[in-house]
């Protein structure tokens, strides 16, 4: 019984003394501002009814990912499959859709590759 109490006391004090330490910065580290994104990849998964769009910021290397699923993805892929891309580029259409859906905000600029 005495050993049990001793073990419990040791466990109690050892678990409270294992608090992690941290440093509180006097000058916080802020992330670099992201001013623009380019399209890194577009994955159209017809059988899985999924569209995955990965953007890329060349300055920070950040790669946010946006996805569409189910009937929304299938509808978008069907429309895209039938769209004439000579009037408006694929990349512009993707950016405009992300903006319209509130996934990102901004203005599309530049000329198609």
The pLDDT-based confidence of 6 (bands split at 50, 70, 90) is low
In this prediction, residue 100 carries a pLDDT of 94
- pTM: predicted TM-score of the whole model, two decimal places: 0.72
Place of tokens 């910065």: 25
Domain regions of the chain by residue span? 34-106
Gap between the Cα atoms of 107 and 54, Å rounded = 18
Q: In 3-state terms, what secondary structure has residue 57?
A: coil
Q: Is the pLDDT of residue 2 over 70?
A: no
**Distance set, CA 86 to CA 20, 92, 93, 109 (Å):** 58, 11, 12, 17
Average pLDDT, the chain: 84
For the chain, strand residue ranges (E) read 38-45, 50-56, 65-69
Give the tens place of pLDDT for each residue, 14-57. Answer: 554 555 666 566 676 677 788 889 999 999 999 999 999 999 98
């Amino acid at each position: 019984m005495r050993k049990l109490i001793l073990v419990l006391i040791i466990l109690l004090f050892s678990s409270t003394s294992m608090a992690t330490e941290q440093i509180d910065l006097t000058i916080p580290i802020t992330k670099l501002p992201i001013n623009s994104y380019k399209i890194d990849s577009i994955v159209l998964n017809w059988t899985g009814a999924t569209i995955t769009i990965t953007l890329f910021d060349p300055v920070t290397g950040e790669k946010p990912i946006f996805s569409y699923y189910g009937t929304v993805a299938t509808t978008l892929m069907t429309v895209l499959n039938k769209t004439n891309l000579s009037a408006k580029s694929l990349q512009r259409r993707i950016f405009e859709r992300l903006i319209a859906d509130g996934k990102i905000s901004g203005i599309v600029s530049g000329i198609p590759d």
